[in-house]
C-alpha cells in the first residue's frame, strides 16, 4: 500500500500559510479545508487564498470543499491548479457529472462522506472517482476526537474498492494522529490527513515522517 500524508493547514497559522507549507515539505500533499459557514458551521478560506498558495508551494494541493453547491464552485479549484478536489456527496446535486467535470479539468476527483453517511448507496459511483474521503470527525473544525465508529466504514470502503478492482485512494480525515493512524491503516486507508497532530508539533516534518512510517507498517501487516 502506498501511504500518503496530507497535512491540513486548518491547524496552521493563517497569517503564515507559505511558511506552514515549507514546514511540511516532506508531505505528499497540502490539504486545504474550504468551509462556507453553511455546509459546516465554520468559515475558512476560498479560491483567492488557494491561488496564492498554489504559487507559494511546490506541494500539490488537495482541496476539501465543505461547501454547499459544490457543482457550482468546485470546478474553479481544478481550473486554478488544485491537483485534487474533493466535494461532499451530501452537498452535491449531480456527483457523477461533477466528478467528470473535475477530471476533465485535470484534477483528481474526490468524494467525501460525513461520519453518518454510508458508502453503500454510492457503490456504483466509485468508478467515477479518484479518491474517497471518509470523515472521522464531523466536518467543520480541527482538533476533534477521532470517531472509532467510522472504522468499519473504512473497511467496507476498502472491500468495495477491491471487489470492483478500482484504483481509488481511500483518505481519512479527522483526529488522525500517532494514536489513531495505525487503526486507520489496518482498516484500509492509504491517504491520511492530519492537522493538529502535525502543525501543533514543534517539528511538523518529523511528525509527517513518523505518521508515514506508522501507517506503512500497520498497512502492510
Ligand atoms: O476537514 C477537517 C475538519 O473538518 C480536517 O481536515 C481537520 O483540519 C483535521 O484536523 P485534525 O482533526 O487532524 O486536527
Domain boundaries, the chain: 4-219
For 50-64, what is the mean pLDDT? Answer: 98
**Mutational pocket test of ligand 1: of 7, 64, 114, 137, the residue with most ligand atoms within 8 Å of the beta carbon:** 137
pLDDT at 1 over 80: no
Among 162, 112, 159, smallest CA distance to 140 is for 112
pTM of the model: 0.98
The pLDDT of residue 46 = 97
The pLDDT of residue 220 = 82
How many percent of the chain have pLDDT more than 90?
Answer: 98
The pLDDT of residue 150 = 98
* Burial group, residue 55, by CB count within 10 angstroms (0-12, 13-18, 19+): exposed
Active-site annotation holds for 173: yes
Confidence of residue 221 (pLDDT cuts 50, 70, 90): confident
Ligand 1 geometric centre to CA of 44 (Å) = 12
Annotated binding site: 8, 31, 33, 64, 140-143, 173-175, 195-196
Which set of grid coordinates corresponds to residue 140? Answer: 467543520
Which set of grid coordinates corresponds to residue 175? Answer: 483526529
Active-site annotation holds for 33: yes
d(C-alpha 65, C-alpha 45), whole Å: 10
Give the CATH class of 4-219. Answer: alpha beta
Span 166-206, pLDDT tens digits: 999 999 999 999 999 999 999 999 999 999 999 999 999 99
Among 87, 148, 146, smallest CA distance to 122 is for 87
Residues lining ligand 1, CB < 6 A?
Answer: 8, 10-11, 31, 33, 64, 137, 139-144, 173-176, 193-197
Span 100-144, pLDDT tens digits: 999 999 999 999 999 999 999 999 999 999 999 999 999 999 999
* Dihedral angle sign, alpha carbons of residues 132, 135, 192, 18: positive
Q: Which of 33, 36, 62, 130 is catalytic?
A: 33
- DSSP single-letter state for residue 130: S
Q: Which residue's C-alpha comes closest to atom 1 of ligand 1?
A: 139
The pLDDT of residue 172 = 98
Amino acid at each position: 500500500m502506498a501511504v500518503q500524508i496530507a497535512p491540513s493547514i486548518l491547524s496552521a497559522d493563517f497569517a503564515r500559510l507559505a511558511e506552514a507549507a515549507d514546514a511540511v515539505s516532506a508531505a505528499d500533499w497540502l490539504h486545504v479545508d474550504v468551509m462556507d459557514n453553511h455546509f459546516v458551521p465554520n468559515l475558512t478560506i476560498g479560491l483567492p487564498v488557494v491561488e496564492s498558495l498554489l504559487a507559494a508551494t511546490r506541494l500539490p494541493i488537495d482541496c476539501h470543499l465543505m461547501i454547499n453547491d459544490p457543482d457550482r464552485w468546485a470546478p474553479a479549484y481544478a481550473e486554478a491548479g488544485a491537483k485534487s478536489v474533493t466535494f461532499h456527496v451530501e452537498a452535491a446535486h449531480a456527483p457523477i457529472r461533477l466528478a467528470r467535470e473535475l477530471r476533465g479539468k485535470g484534477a483528481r476527483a474526490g468524494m467525501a462522506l460525513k461520519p453518518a453517511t454510508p458508502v453503500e448507496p454510492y457503490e456504483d459511483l466509485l468508478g467515477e472517482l479518484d479518491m474517497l474521503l471518509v470523515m472521522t470527525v464531523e466536518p467543520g473544525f480541527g482538533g476533534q476526537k477521532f470517531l472509532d465508529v467510522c472504522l468499519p466504514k473504512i473497511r467496507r470502503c476498502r472491500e468495495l474498492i477491491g471487489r470492483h478492482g478500482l484504483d481509488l485512494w481511500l483518505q481519512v480525515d479527522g483526529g488522525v494522529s500517532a494514536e489513531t493512524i495505525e487503526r486507520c491503516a489496518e482498516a484500509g486507508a492509504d491517504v491520511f490527513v492530519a492537522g493538529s497532530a502535525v502543525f501543533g508539533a514543534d517539528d511538523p516534518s518529523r511528525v509527517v515522517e513518523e505518521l508515514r512510517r506508522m501507517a506503512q507498517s500497520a498497512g502492510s501487516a
